[in-house]
């Protein structure tokens, strides 16, 4: 079976994608699968590469002289990729399943998933609608709001509205939690806490909004929930299962990009010190959110657990990381499912869902 691992991309999470891809490639059973590696540069060029995992990790894969430009055509009769030689002659290579190890824009926002749908190639992870709605946190909040699951108070600010009435939009933001600070400001469609900041003074709000607008045209302003950061891995299609509950122990004030990837003091662990009833509530809520978002394959669902015992939904990640520090594979490892077995399950789920869609 030929498995395409696609990594890189044009988003701000390009480096995270490469790190995840290294672990995915190492985790795939090379006796069982033929692994086709497709790298996307920051400029958006696709290449078939024979790069080692070390070259992928460092970014040196882009410099290999034997890289060949490639693409996935929307034509379903190809059922794979086209690889171009030095004279631009194309050769088709069949792909049985795609693992898109892509994060952020053009990776987990439904765009590349739409291409896979047109090409009629099975792929790991949620479909177009779930990916798009999961990427845009404002849409996620609207959908999850229908479940009654507790989430932070919030407001949405659009770049054009901010440009037209800066003062009015700042006042709207300040009213998010009845004028109470701190607030949390982040791009509506960015992962790995890119562009996120905590606002403790009114004078900081404008700068925080402007910073978030560097990454998206829509900004989410939320009440600051003080609590422990909990994460649950969900796996499955029509009958999804939740892992045990994990916790983020951030070395920073909150788990932003720097705390997540650059600070070795940040840690993750399996939770064993909160009531089982609350762990069950978190796990059940994760599955309910997975279902209402119409996810499939995998997702990671994040919560806060407050000192007074409240469970508050934070966000969903429809293509969670697979780096050395990523919670998703760690949680399944804690459940007795190692990474090769987990990847086997994800590939099987992708093919099952594709077959189901074709049948119905």
Catalytic residue flag (residue 19)? no
Does 55 fall in a domain?
Answer: yes
Does 71 fall in a domain?
Answer: yes
| pLDDT tens digits, 90-121 | 999 999 999 999 998 889 999 999 999 999 99
Kindly state the average pLDDT of the residues 270-298. 98
Same domain, 249 and 351: yes
What distance in Å separates the CA atoms of residue 40 and residue 25, rounded to the nearest whole number?
16
Q: How far is CA 138 from the centre of its chain?
A: 15
Annotated ligand binding at 226? The verdict is yes
Catalytic residue flag (residue 13)? yes
Domain count, the chain: 3
Annotated ligand binding at 50? The verdict is no
Does 133 fall in a domain?
Answer: no
Does 60 fall in a domain?
Answer: yes
Same domain, 215 and 244: no
| pLDDT tens digits, 30-64 | 999 999 999 999 999 999 999 999 999 999 999 99
Same domain, 45 and 19: yes
- φ and ψ at 333, to 5 degrees? -60, -40
**108, 120, 74: which is closest to 357 by C-alpha?**
120
Does 249 fall in a domain?
Answer: yes
Q: What is the pLDDT of residue 37?
A: 99
CATH number for the domain harbouring residue 87: 3.40.50.20
- The answer to whether the CB of 242 falls within 8 A of the CB of 284 is yes
Q: What is the pLDDT of residue 150?
A: 98
What distance in Å separates the CA atoms of residue 300 and residue 340, rounded to the nearest whole number?
18
Same domain, 257 and 280: yes
How many CB atoms within 10 Å of residue 268? Answer: 18
Same domain, 94 and 165: no
pLDDT at 149 over 70: yes
What distance in Å separates the CA atoms of residue 288 and residue 165, rounded to the nearest whole number?
38
Same domain, 73 and 20: yes
Kindly state the average pLDDT of the residues 269-277. 95
pLDDT grade for 251, boundaries at 50, 70 and 90:
low
Q: What is the pLDDT of residue 257?
A: 52
| pLDDT tens digits, 181-198 | 999 999 998 765 789 999
pLDDT at 317 over 70: yes
Does 137 fall in a domain?
Answer: no
pLDDT at 217 over 90: yes
Kindly state the average pLDDT of the residues 317-345. 96
Kindly state the average pLDDT of the residues 249-277. 72
Does 69 fall in a domain?
Answer: yes
What distance in Å separates the CA atoms of residue 340 and residue 334, rounded to the nearest whole number?
14
* 133-142, 157-166, 173-182, 262-271: least confidently modelled range: 262-271
Does 341 fall in a domain?
Answer: yes
Domain end among 166, 194, 223: 223
Same domain, 243 and 347: yes
Peptide bond into 182 cis (omega under 30): yes
Instruction: Please give the torsion angle defined by the CA atoms of residues 28, 48, 135 and 189, in that order, rounded to the nearest 10 degrees.
Output: 130
Q: What is the pLDDT of residue 12?
A: 85
Same domain, 338 and 252: yes
What distance in Å separates the CA atoms of residue 294 and residue 320, rounded to the nearest whole number?
16
CATH number for the domain harbouring residue 213: 3.30.1490.20
What distance in Å separates the CA atoms of residue 107 and residue 18, rounded to the nearest whole number?
13
Query: Percent of the chain having pLDDT more than 70?
Result: 94
Q: What is the pLDDT of residue 355?
A: 85
Annotated ligand binding at 313? The verdict is no
Range of the domain at 191: 154-223
Same domain, 68 and 190: no
Out of 192, 197, 250, 299, the active site residue is: 192
- The answer to whether the CB of 60 falls within 8 A of the CB of 50 is no
Annotated ligand binding at 199? The verdict is no
Would you say how long the chain is, in residues?
A: 360
Kindly state the average pLDDT of the residues 274-284. 98
Q: What is the pLDDT of residue 190?
A: 78
What distance in Å separates the CA atoms of residue 340 and residue 203, rounded to the nearest whole number?
50
- The answer to whether the CB of 344 falls within 8 A of the CB of 280 is no
Q: In whole numbers, what is the pLDDT of the chain averaged over residues?
A: 94
Out of 11, 13, 250, 285, the active site residue is: 13
Same domain, 235 and 354: yes
Same domain, 8 and 90: yes
Q: How far is CA 255 from the centre of its chain?
A: 15
How many CB atoms within 10 Å of residue 58? Answer: 14
**249, 253, 243, 246: which is closest to 264 by C-alpha?**
249
Catalytic residue flag (residue 192)? yes
Same domain, 210 and 187: yes
- The answer to whether the CB of 316 falls within 8 A of the CB of 294 is no
What distance in Å separates the CA atoms of residue 79 and residue 356, rounded to the nearest whole number?
17
What distance in Å separates the CA atoms of residue 98 and residue 2, rounded to the nearest whole number?
9
pLDDT grade for 123, boundaries at 50, 70 and 90:
very high
CATH number for the domain harbouring residue 351: 3.30.470.20
């Amino acid at each position: 079976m030929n498995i395409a691992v696609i990594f890189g991309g044009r988003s701000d999470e390009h480096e995270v994608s490469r790190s995840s891809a290294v672990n995915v490639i190492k985790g795939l059973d090379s006796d069982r699968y033929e692994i086709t590696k497709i790298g996307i540069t920051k400029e958006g060029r696709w290449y078939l590469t024979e790069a080692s995992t070390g070259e992928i990790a460092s970014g040196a894969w882009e410099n290999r002289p034997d890289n060949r430009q490639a693409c996935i055509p929307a034509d379903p009769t190809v059922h794979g990729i086209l690889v171009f030689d030095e004279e631009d002659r194309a050769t088709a290579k069949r792909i049985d399943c795609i693992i898109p190890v892509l994060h952020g824009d053009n990776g987990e926002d439904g765009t590349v998933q739409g291409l896979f749908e047109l090409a009629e190639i099975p792929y790991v992870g949620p479909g177009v609608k779930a990916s798009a709605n999961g990427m845009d946190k404002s849409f996620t909040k609207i959908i999850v709001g229908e479940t009654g699951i507790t989430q932070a108070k919030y407001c949405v600010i659009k770049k054009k509205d901010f440009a037209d009435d800066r003062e009015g939009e700042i006042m709207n933001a300040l009213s998010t939690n009845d004028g109470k600070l701190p607030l949390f400001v982040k791009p509506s469609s960015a992962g790995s806490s890119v562009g996120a900041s905590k606002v403790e003074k009114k004078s900081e709000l404008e700068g925080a909004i402007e910073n978030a607008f560097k990454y998206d045209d829509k900004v989410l302003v939320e009440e600051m929930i003080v609590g422990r950061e909990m994460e649950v891995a969900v796996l499955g299609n029509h009958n999804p299962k939740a892992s045990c509950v994990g916790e983020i122990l951030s070395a920073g004030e909150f788990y932003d990009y720097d705390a997540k990837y650059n600070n070795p003091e940040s840690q993750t662990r399996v939770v064993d010190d909160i009531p089982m009833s609350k762990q069950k509530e978190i796990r059940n809520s994760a599955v309910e959110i997975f279902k209402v978002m119409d996810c499939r394959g995998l997702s990671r669902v994040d919560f806060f657990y407050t000192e007074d015992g409240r469970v508050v939904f934070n966000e969903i990640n429809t293509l969670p990381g697979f780096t050395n520090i990523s919670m998703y594979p760690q949680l399944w490892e804690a459940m007795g499912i190692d990474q090769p077995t987990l990847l086997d399950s994800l590939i099987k789920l992708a093919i099952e869902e594709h077959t189901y869609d074709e049948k119905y």
